[in-house]
Chains A and B, each alone.
Chain A
Amino acid sequence: MFWTKVKRIARSGFYSFWRNGFVSFSGMLVMIITLSVILGTIFLGAILKSSLQEIKNKVDVNVYFVQSASEDDIMAVDKSLQALPEVSSVTYTSADQALSDFKTKHQNDQFTLQALDELGTNPLEASLNVKAKDPSQYEGIAQFLQSSSALSANGASIVDKVNYYQNKDAIDALNRLIDSANRLGFALTMFLVAISILITYNTIRLSIFMSKDEISVMRLVGASRTYIRGPFVISGAMYGLFSAIITLVLFWPITLWLGRVTQNFFIGLNIFSYYVSNFGQIFCIIVFSGVFIGAFSSYLAARKHLKV
């Protein structure tokens, strides 16, 4: 009898979804907006994360060594930096490499190149470019460079300068900005999602309110609460399912267009590529959200009219 009951509830839910065409359509429109907000916040989160990551990657610290420092000494420093858990990468640039890079960069600036030739020697220093896993860790790395004994050759420091201290204010400001952006993004997401869910709940409540006479008739022929509420929950879940599919399809051309338009604006992230490569995960989130919001709203809304 249990499966017969489940089958009847499912059939009845499907019929009521199909036959209440206009109500289903308007319910689905609101649900599509809700799911679009959820999907939009997923993209917004991805854009924010990717942009912040790009900015974080642009932050680095250069350690410049004195002209007399030997390559072995510099390599020793390189090795000890690599061993630090907060360091993400260390890149060595020799004095010769620095000179050739400088020449390439200024190849159209004859005046500068001429001045360099007149010097006769290479004025540039060898350097290590250090990237941390997180911008907040540069302070610790800079302190390590200042205090480490590995920096000394014959008692004298081989480090000429560490540019962290020149950039300290900018890095601190960026850290604060990243923190605030993350917090604000999360709060905004929660707010928008909560508002959309409330609107969907109210729309479904309104459509069930129109069926309140029907519910009272069902009660009077002796139908149980589960048997009355079941089809509404199934209809609600179907609003969610179809709205989710429509939303996912609609976002295909939207992200394709946005991807092209905004690729240069959002550094390094193409929204369309992000959508395609994460489609499985996004599909699950949106379908689950739609079905859950639809079914749960219907469950709550139908409960109100079951008191007869």
Chain B
Amino acid sequence: MILFDNVSKIYSDSSVALEGISFSVEPNEFVSIVGHSGAGKTTLIKMFLAEEKPTDGAVFFNDTNIQKLKKKEINEFRRKVGTVFQDFRLLPNKTVYENIAFAMEAAGRTDEEIESDVPHVLELVDLAKKIWNFPHELSGGEQQRVAIARAIVNQPDVVIADEPTGNLDPMNTNDIVQILKKINDLGTTVILTTHNKAVIDSLGKRVITMENGKIIRDDKKGKYMV
């Protein structure tokens, strides 16, 4: 489903962010990518989201080379991918409802679909009561749950969660991990980057360990070993 084929990224100041990265992700897999800050986790995600281009190698999604997509095709591709970030990245001047509706509107869904799906997905992340609140009126954990609801509302093929628990306390961290597991159980591929040992150890799923832009371990049922 996802294939990184010998991907390298070298910036203009000749600092190496990624070097010879090769791995694949199968449908319905839950893959965690771990490593210290600066190991290359976020650069890897940016390559997949077509935010940056590799210096060498290629990234494929369902046999399509992502870097060869045209601007319009990039929009369509991104609608098949749900993204969750450490800093939540909600639209501050839109309510919870509008934040989620925006992703659906961008995907060209009808008003009827939006009206029925948004409350439903908010129930899934247990935030139905905060539907008309603005992001600044929510706690960090609640904001992240809105971000997850936005990421899954278009029923994407894959959800990318880049350090989703980085700004959360242990209780909220556990909630978010449980929601991601539930999404995976429902059939969506999940790629999670983190440096939270407890999260990785509790998952018992595939773990890719990175260091200095390279993959140093790839375990089917791994533990946090950095």
Interface residues of A (CB under 8 A from B): 1, 4, 8, 15-16, 19-20, 213-214, 216-225, 227, 308
- Asked whether B110 lies within 8 Å of A4 as measured between CB atoms, the reply is yes
Q: Which of A4, A216, A222, A308 contacts B106 (CB under 8 A)? A: A222
Closest to B93 in A: A19
Q: For residue B60, which residues in chain A have a CB less than 8 angstroms away from its CB?
A: none
Q: Within 8 Å of chain A (Cβ to Cβ): is B165?
A: no
The smallest beta-carbon distance between B107 and chain A, in angstroms, is: 6
B89 touches A223 (CB 8 A): no
Which residues of the partner chain B approach A220 to less than 8 Å between Cβ atoms?
49, 51, 78, 83, 89
A19–B98 CA distance with the chains assembled, in angstroms: 13
B106 near A223 with CB under 8 A, answer yes
Count of chain A to chain B residue pairs whose CB atoms are closer than 8 Å in the complex:
53
- Write the B80-116 contact mask toward A (1 if CB under 8 angstroms, else 0): 0001000001111110001000110111101100000
A222 touching B93 by the CB < 8 A rule? no
- Give residues 14-65 of B contacting A (CB, 8 Å): 49, 51
Q: Given A217-B91, A223-B75, decide whether A308 and B51 contact each other with a Cβ distance below 8 A.
A: yes
Cβ contact within 8 Å between B91 and A222: no
Among residues 133 to 190 in chain B, which have CB atoms less than 8 Å away from a CB atom of chain A? 150
Interface pairs A-B: 3 shortest CB-CB: A222-B78, A223-B106, A222-B79
Judge whether B108 and A1 touch: CB under 8 Å: yes
Nearest CB in chain B to that of A4: its residue: B111
Closest B residue, CB atoms, query A223: B106
A16 CA to B92 CA in the complex, in Å? 10
Q: A214-B92, A217-B89 are in contact. Are A223 and B111 (CB under 8 A)?
A: no
Task: Collect the chain A residues with CB atoms within 8 Å of residue B79's CB.
Answer: 221-222
The smallest beta-carbon distance between B96 and chain A, in angstroms, is 14
Report the separation of the CA atoms of residues A308 and B89 in the bound assembly, to the nearest whole angstrom.
15
In the complex, A1→B110 CA distance in Å?
Answer: 8
Q: Measured between alpha carbons, how far is A172 from B148 in the docked complex, in Å?
A: 80
Contact A16 B93 (CB under 8 A): yes
Instruction: With CB as the reference atom, state the residue of chain A lying closest to B114.
Output: A8
Nearest-neighbour CB distance to chain A for B151, whole angstroms, equals 8
Chain B residues with CB under 8 A of A4: 110-111
Q: Using Cβ atoms and an 8 Å threshold, which residues of chain A touch B92?
A: 214
> Known: A16-B93, A19-B93, A213-B89. Is A218-B111 also a contact (CB below 8 A)?
no
- Interface membership of B123, Cβ < 8 A: no
Rounded to whole Å, the gap between the CB of B93 and the closest CB of chain A is 4
CB distance from B192 to the nearest CB of A (A): 17
**Can you list 24 pairs linking A and B with CB atoms under 8 Å apart?**
A8-B105, A15-B94, A15-B98, A16-B93, A20-B93, A213-B89, A214-B91, A214-B93, A217-B89, A217-B90, A217-B91, A219-B78, A220-B78, A220-B89, A221-B78, A221-B79, A221-B106, A221-B150, A222-B75, A222-B76, A222-B79, A222-B107, A223-B75, A224-B72
Q: Cβ of B72: which chain A residues have Cβ within 8 Å of it?
A: 224
Q: List, in ascending order, chain A residues with CB within 8 A of B105's CB.
A: 8, 223, 227
Nearest Cβ on chain A to B193's Cβ, whole angstroms:
15
Tell me the complex Cα distance, A166–B103, Å: 82
Are B106 and A218 in contact, with the CB atoms below 8 A?
yes
**Cβ contacts under 8 Å, B75 to chain A:** 222-224
Known: A220-B83, A222-B106, A224-B75. 20 other contacts (CB 8 A): A4-B111, A214-B92, A214-B93, A216-B89, A217-B91, A218-B91, A218-B102, A218-B106, A220-B51, A221-B78, A221-B79, A221-B83, A221-B103, A221-B150, A222-B76, A222-B77, A223-B105, A223-B106, A225-B71, A227-B106
Q: Which residue of B lies closest to A221 (CB)?
A: B103
A225-B106 Cα distance, complex, nearest whole Å:
10
Which residues on the A side are within 8 Å of B77 (C-beta)?
222
Q: Within the complex, what minimum Cβ distance (angstroms) separates B73 from chain A?
A: 11
* A239, B55: Cα distance in complex, Å: 44
Q: Which residues of chain B are within 8 angstroms of A219 by Cβ–Cβ distance?
A: 78
Chain A neighbourhood of B91, CB < 8 A: 214, 217-218
CA distance A4 to B92 in the complex (A): 23
- Cα separation A4 to B108 with both chains bound (whole Å): 9
Which residues of B lie under 8 Å from residue A19 when comparing CB positions? 93
Chain B residues within 8 Å of A15, by CB: 93-94, 98
For B150, the closest partner residue in chain A by CB is: A221
Q: Min CB distance, A2 to chain B, in Å?
A: 11
In the complex, how many angstroms separate the beta carbon of B196 from the nearest chain A beta carbon?
23
CA distance A217 to B150 in the complex (A): 11
Residues of B near A227 (CB, < 8 A) are 105-106
A40 vs chain B, min Cβ distance (A): 35
In the complex, A137 Cα to B103 Cα: how many Å?
71
